[in-house]
Amino acid sequence: MKKMIILFLCLGIAVMGFSSCGEKEKELEAKESKLGEELGEKRKRLNEVVRSVDELETVDYSEKLVEVNLKLDALTRELEFEKTELKKLSAEKREFVKKLEDYRKKYSMGED
């Protein structure tokens, strides 16, 4: 009889152990599920941050490109202005040289 009682006690303890293991397993599965959801949310937030950083970099590059284009336009205008001024000076020089040659012809000393 003592053996039977001990056997039933052991069996009861084993059943209680299995049920507590089942509860523990369910708790762990719930925690795992919750952690999986949190991880999914964190991944979504990380992806949003990465996208926003990519957009910022794109905006920065776009702003820099606009800035470079503006500088290039300004330099091009300056170059065009310099070309125009050079043409004016060349025309003035040709006119001056022509007047000088005419003056020399008109007032040459050695040919009188």
How do the pLDDT tens digits run along the chain, 112 residues long? Answer: 777 777 666 666 665 665 666 677 788 888 888 888 998 999 998 888 888 888 877 777 888 888 899 999 999 999 999 999 999 999 999 999 999 998 888 888 765 4
Residue 5 falls inside a structural domain? no
Residue 3: inside a domain: no
Report if residue 35 sits inside a domain.
yes
Has residue 4 been placed in a domain? Answer: no
Tell me whether residue 2 is in a domain. no
Domain housing 18: 10-105
Task: Compute the C-alpha angle 34/40/41, nearest 5°.
Answer: 90
3-state helix, strand, coil in the chain (%, to 5): 95, 0, 5
- In-domain check, residue 110: no
Q: Assess if residue 58 is contained within a domain.
A: yes
Give the number of domains in the chain.
1
Round to whole Å and give the CA distance between 10 and 17: 10
What is the structure's pLDDT at 19?
A: 63
Structure tokens at 11: 């069996």
Q: Greatest CA separation found in the chain?
A: 162
Encoded amino acid at 50, one letter: V
